[in-house]
Amino acid sequence: MLVATASISLLGLAAAHMGCSGHNIAKRNVGGENNVIYGKRQVDNANLDVTAQCTPYTYAPMANSKAKYPGIWVQPATLVPGDSEAAALFATINATVQQKVPNSNSPHGTLKGDWAGVNYPAGDADCWWTNSRCTTPAESLGIPADITNLPEPETWGLGFDDGPNCSHNALYNFLAENNQKATMFFIGSNVIDWPVQAIRARDDGHHICVHTWSHPYMTALTNEQVFAELYYTRQVIKEVIGVTPTCWRPPFGDVDNRVRLIAAGLNLTNVLWKNDTFDWSVGTNNVTAADVTNNYQKIITAAGQGQYATQGLTVLNHEINNFTMQEFIEQYPNIKGAFKHIVPIAAAMNWTHPYVEQNYTFQDFNEYVAGAPASGAASSGGASAAGSGTATGSAASASASKASTKGSGAGATRPAAGILAVAIAATALLL
């Protein structure tokens, strides 16, 4: 079959990119018009066939837009020549950075995370997370601490990095069936490759944040490159999805004060994580699926022992591949059994207007947990709250967007356990 053969070929050609904590990323996320397959596709959120979901397609609203952006998956992003608006904003932000951290020891290392020969001074004046897990910049800088813990106890802050994954319908259907919202940290290159998948996140009421354009170690970049990685991801999310995020997550958690200041200049709050499921690491260094399950269990056990009795936590999950998505689906009942609440970051932080566009209103924590199924309740599809609109943006504005091509997600079938397993096997060959 032509499509299947071609798709396998594409997967084989996919460039390896490193994920949030040191993993290869986006194996099946190669797509868009860089590839040989073109053609319109009917959008069908109920389609769980991985090959069909990941067949590149043209997307008319973006047909003339790519020249405005850096190269897809080209590391690192840089200012696009002739983009005077971006250049002017960068100049303004850069002036602040130069004034506030003139003696920074950053950049350092390589964009692949090699710090050989880097001699970083003791004292950690740059609050470099990778070096010291520092999350609290000096107060004099006027920027907030990174978000790791959450104010509400016994609460799992749910987020997925590295999307949109072209084959994420099974996960998104599962979340919809459970009336579960999440925060999606989107990669700009993936958004431009898979715009329909990106739009689904908005239509499903998820909360969208920035996760850079090409997923480099951010502290290795120049100020201009840091700006470009964040700015163009924010821009493409605005153009494709219609919302302008106000939060971001650094790949690998690699952030310091210089990078934080540039992000703050773009009105992006840094959402890190407290715990990592290491779901991304399967296939590297002999890490197995059972190891990841054990990582989930450790967090769940800690919750049972009262570790989160006074505050909640952000947890690092991924939609990077079909294993990470399926593993979350399988662990979800266990998480629900151990935590009182599973909420998107917007709800956890009471960000009722998490986008620049004020017509999108999200639920605050109390509203969210009141509308979500009770803790420990059977996952019956969340029918009692499904009609409330919950965290979706203004229906009118969402529907009016030219980018909205959402198909009917109603009646989507629950993913069978075997569906994603097939994809895992295919992906594993590429790790």
Q: 20 or 346: whose CB is closer to Zn ion? A: 20
Q: Which sign, positive or negative, has the C-alpha torsion 254, 207, 359, 347?
A: negative
Q: Does 253 bind Zn ion (CB under 5 A)?
A: no
Q: 90 or 273: whose CB is closer to Zn ion? A: 273
Give the shortest CB-212-to-Zn ion separation in angstroms: 8
**Binding mask 143-162 vs Zn ion (x if CB under 5 A, - otherwise)?**
------------------xx
Site residues for Zn ion, 9-38, by CB under 5 A, read 19-20
Q: 162 or 224: whose CB is closer to Zn ion? A: 162
Give the shortest CB-163-to-Zn ion separation in angstroms: 9
In this structure, what is the dihedral angle of CA atoms 121, 113, 145, 270, given to the nearest 10 degrees?
A: 160
Q: Which residues contact 54 (CB under 8 A, 6 or more apart)?
A: 7, 11, 28, 31, 166, 167
Q: Does 319 bind Zn ion (CB under 5 A)?
A: no
Catalytic residue among 17, 168, 318, 341: 318
Q: Is 161 a catalytic residue?
A: yes
Q: Does 251 bind Zn ion (CB under 5 A)?
A: yes
Nearest partner of 165 among 251, 53, 41, 71, judged by Cα:
53
DSSP string, 106-174: -S-S-TT---TT--PPTT-TT--HHHH------GGG--PPPB-EESSTTEEEEEEEEE--TT-HHHHHH
Show the tokens assigned to 47: 């389609």
Q: 27 or 100: whose CB is closer to Zn ion? A: 27
In the bound complex, which residue of the shown chain has the CB atom lying closest to Zn ion? 20
Give the shortest CB-263-to-Zn ion separation in angstroms: 15
**Binding mask 159-198 vs Zn ion (x if CB under 5 A, - otherwise)?**
--xx------------------------------------
Q: Which residues contact 61 (CB under 8 A, 6 or more apart)?
A: 195, 240, 402, 403
Give the shortest CB-25-to-Zn ion separation in angstroms: 6
Q: 20 or 171: whose CB is closer to Zn ion? A: 20
Q: How far apart are CA 240 and CA 406, in angstroms?
A: 13
Q: Which sign, positive or negative, has the C-alpha torsion 34, 36, 42, 48?
A: negative
Question: Under rule CB under 5 A, how many of the chain's residues touch Zn ion?
Answer: 5
Sequence-ordered strand ranges (E) for 180-276: 183-186, 207-210, 247-248, 269-270, 275-276
* 232 φ, ψ (degrees, to nearest 5): -75, -25
Catalytic residue among 161, 193, 203, 254: 161
Q: 162 or 203: whose CB is closer to Zn ion? A: 162
Which amino acid belongs to residue 109? Answer: G
| Cβ–Cβ under 8 Å, residues 158 and 182 | yes
Site residues for Zn ion, 344-403, by CB under 5 A, read none
**Binding mask 199-238 vs Zn ion (x if CB under 5 A, - otherwise)?**
----------------------------------------
Specify the DSSP element, H or E, that contains 332. Answer: helix 322-338
Per CB under 5 A, the segment of 133-141, 246-254, 285-293, 344-352 that binds Zn ion is 246-254
Q: What residue ranges bind Zn ion (CB under 5 A)?
A: 19-20, 161-162, 251
Active site residues: 161, 318
